[in-house]
Amino acid sequence: MSVSRDMMATSDRSFVNVVVDLPKELAADVEDVRRRDPEFLGRAIQYVLARRIIFEELTARASERR
């Protein structure tokens, strides 16, 4: 699986509202980060999702080889 820079073009993006149930202390920290650097959470979520997609792809390929 490869991700090209074209896939990350601004015109290919759409906004999604995500609701997450967090412990109060963590939720307060996340809100603080969101206020200070709103783009950080977006980048962090993209990073986590990319890692998850890669993990699932590698896991699927490993199970196909068995």
Summarize pLDDT for 20-29 with one digit per residue, the tens. Answer: 899 999 999 9
56 in Cβ contact with 64 (< 8 Å)? no
**Looking up tokens 């967090």, which residue turns up?**
22
Higher pLDDT, 59 or 16: 59
Average pLDDT value for residue range 51-55: 95
pLDDT band at 15 (very low <50, low <70, confident <90, very high): confident
Hey, CA dihedral for 1, 55, 57, 60, is it positive or negative? positive
Tens digit of each residue's pLDDT (9 = 90 or more) over 33-51: 989 998 998 899 889 999 9
